[in-house]
Amino acid sequence: MRYSSTGKYYKSGSAKYWTAAYGANIQIASGSDGPVYYYSIDKVRKLTNTIKNASKSNSYLQMDYDYTVGCYFGVRGYGVLINSCTVKGNCKFANSYIPWFSVI
């Protein structure tokens, strides 16, 4: 799986911190499909992105998730479900995820 969160941040000199949380996303990582099997995110029950300790040096984005992944036998989109599992948890994106450079 590939998890990503977006947010607004402040950066000046060596100081950097999160100031707002925006959207979050979950994707199947590339290369996870085989010639006969493939995986799919079948149902997302929860996907939130919140900020903790906003505008402080120890701020972070927290993404909470609860979803079901299905494993299918066949060709993508035309397979038979052979197994599924529920995934629940969270990811924390500390200020180390804030870039030191600016992209224009």
How many domains is the chain partitioned into structurally? 1
Residue 16 token pair: 């950097």
Q: What number is the average pLDDT over the span 89-102?
A: 86
For the chain, what percent of residues have pLDDT higher than 70? 90
Which of 9, 23, 7 minimizes the C-alpha distance to 65?
23
pLDDT value, residue 1: 92
pLDDT value, residue 62: 97
pLDDT band, residue 13 (cuts 50/70/90): confident
**Would you say residue 67 lies in a domain?**
yes
- Residue 30, pLDDT above cutoff 90: no
Which secondary-structure segment (H or E) carries 49? strand 37-52
80 vs 29, more confident: 80
Domain enclosing residue 66, as ranges: 2-97
**Would you say residue 102 lies in a domain?**
no
**Would you say residue 62 lies in a domain?**
yes
| Calpha distance 18→60 (Å, rounded) | 6
pLDDT band, residue 36 (cuts 50/70/90): confident
**Would you say residue 104 lies in a domain?**
no
